[in-house]
Amino acid sequence: MRLSLIAVGRAKRGPEQDLFNAYLKRLRPSLDLIEVEEKRPLSGPELMGREAKLIGDKIPEGAHVFALDERGKAMKSRQFAEKLGGLQDSGIRDCTFIIGGADGLDPAICTRANTIMCFGPQTWPHMLVRGMLAEQIYRAQSILAGHPYHRD
């Protein structure tokens, strides 16, 4: 199963990028990062709508889409692993994760998503969420492989 992350914004060098890269190196299969960015000085719903268009253009046909959104469902690591394993077992070829920009995701993206999830009730910087997601995908792969990285 191919894994991709469509994220709003361009990562800059720093600890958040280092964290993401550290887990990216461990992933098998890897996670393809696709960054989208609106250059025009838009704001609010207009910006979110434009970001939704940029994101939507990058979603592979037939992909299972995970939108990371504050209104999403928090999953335990084992639940997340079971979800990914089930998708892989059912023959899903592409699994795409979406992280919005500072204003969040346009409702159109959440409507398109098959799964809406969050990393708890707190607000996280979207660049940090990239590293958190990569770690959770690595943890899920470890759980599915029976590797001792995850401890219950």
Give the C-alpha separation, 88 to 90, whole Å. 5
81-102: per-residue pLDDT in tens?
A: 999 999 999 999 999 999 999 8
pLDDT one-digit tens code per residue, 22-45? 999 999 999 999 999 999 999 999
| Domains detected in the chain | 2-145 (3.40.1280.10)
Give the whole-angstrom CA distance, residue 15 versus residue 20. Answer: 9
Q: What pairs with residue 118 in β-bridges?
A: 74
Average pLDDT of the chain is 96
